[in-house]
Homo-oligomer: A and B are copies of this chain.
Amino acid sequence: MNNFVFFPATKYVFGRGVENKVAAELSAFGMKKPLIVYGKGSVVRSGLLSRVRKSLEDAGIPYAELSGVQPNPVDSKVYEGIDIAKREGVDSVLAVGGGSAIDTAKAIAAAIPYDGDFWDFYCGKARVEKALPVGVVLTIPAAGSEGSGNTVITRLDGLHKLGMGSDVLRPRFALMNPELTMTLPPYQTAAGITDMFAHIMERYFTNTPDVEITDRVAEGVMKAIINEAPKVIADPADYNARANIMWSGTLAHNGVCSGGREEDWATHGLEHELSAVYDVTHGAGLAVMFPAWMTYAMQTNPGKIAQFARRVFDIEEADDAKAAALGIEALKKFLTSIGMPVTMRQLGIENPDTALLAGKVTENKGEEFGNYIKVNREVAEKIYNLAR
């Protein structure tokens, strides 16, 4: 097991009606004038935004607003938010929505105390040392951004989608009411489930030996997702299944599945190019890319994929290569059962430019990236081709 630092630090308030505590939690964390960051869809339509505004007004908490954040959130919206934040003199950021709103909120929170361009953090020129405090009212269980210090932003001008992270960006609080997720369309629910499952696999597939405790926790979260996902797909209003899925999404990404192990994250890099070039839903892109990456990886390194097959999908097969192959099939079957694509064709990409994708991913992630197996431009193209 490797040395590690784990500093979770987010206060999770979970259950029915917890969004009504937003003013109280802002005050508890000394957030006196937040910038509310949100999208333009369900948060507005459902009346949630109006309720949040009213809560703040009733409590005498002034606020500014940044609206219109989109999936695969872009830098232009971050710059817009920075301008508003500076003009209005906010002291904190409150995301109301899912990963896109939260990731945009974190980018703004990091940018305000920083002299340079916020993009410096994403392209690796600078590290976040300070940030405005961030709060969250979560409506989409998927990205896990409510419990992580990570944020991913897409650059409009160059089709680059890059991530960065710092413990100072972990939200101070996250209000998580599973009822707010009941109106998510089935496809978005399934894409969110795939995203959280992928967050665990990025940590799980490691060459670090002797990490039994985090292996077992990760396997437990994956097993819970496999058990609960069909229930939310079958009945979107199943509160308990929604609750189990929502909390799984947080545990998948807040670091509980991480301690002491090298992580991989090649597949997220590969998928980010798909999202950037073809504007696909992140979770759906992961459903396509993960089985392809595993299929390539098992050729040279089947061990952990075989363990995954045996412990997560209960596959009884002594041979590692055979077990790994059966595990990948079981994963595809699970993803298909909740309505996810597992090929680019099913994703609507008939003629993917795999050379372009492979070029872009090495440009963004480096000539060689990933840890469980090393991915270079040639390997990336092979994996993209396996995903056709």
Contacts and interface: CB of A to CB of B under 8 A. Distances in A.
Interface of A: 1-16, 18, 178, 209-221, 223-224, 227-228, 239-241, 243-244, 247-248, 251, 256, 259-260
Contact of A15 (B3, B215, B227, B243): B3
- Which of A212, A214, A256 has the most C-beta atoms of chain B within 10 angstroms of its own C-beta? A212
B215 A243 contact: no
Contacts of A215: 224
Among A6, A220, A244, which residue has the most Cβ atoms of chain B within 10 A?
A: A220
A208 to B, nearest CB: 10
Contact of A221 (B12, B13, B217, B228): B217
Given A6-B14, A211-B244, 15 more contacts: A1-B15, A1-B243, A3-B14, A4-B12, A4-B15, A6-B11, A8-B10, A9-B11, A15-B260, A210-B240, A210-B243, A217-B217, A217-B224, A218-B220, A247-B260
Contacts of A8: 8-10
10 contacts: A3-B18, A5-B11, A5-B14, A7-B11, A8-B9, A12-B259, A210-B240, A212-B244, A218-B220, A243-B260
Contacts of A212: 224, 227-228, 244
A304 to B, nearest CB: 16
- 7 A-B pairs with the lowest CB-CB distances in the bound complex, closest first: A3-B15, A220-B220, A210-B240, A216-B220, A7-B11, A8-B8, A216-B224
Nearest to A14: B4
Given A12-B6, A256-B256, A1 B240 contact: yes
Nearest to A240: B210
A244 B210 contact: yes
Contacts of A243: 1, 210, 260
B223 A216 contact: yes
A240 B209 contact: yes
Contacts of A5: 11-14
A210 to B, nearest CB: 3
A8 B4 CA distance: 17
B217 A251 contact: yes
Candidate in A11, A16, A240, A247 with the most chain B CB atoms within 10 angstroms: A247
A217 B213 CA distance: 10
Residue with the highest number of chain B CB atoms closer than 10 Å, among A211, A215, A244:
A244
A23 to B, nearest CB: 16
Contacts of A223: 216
Contacts of A239: 1
B209 A213 contact: no
B12 A244 contact: no
B15 A244 contact: no
Contacts of A228: 212-213
Contacts of A9: 8-9, 11
A142 to B, nearest CB: 15
A12 B7 CA distance: 6
A117 to B, nearest CB: 28
Contacts of A248: 213
A10 B209 CA distance: 26
A259 B256 CA distance: 14
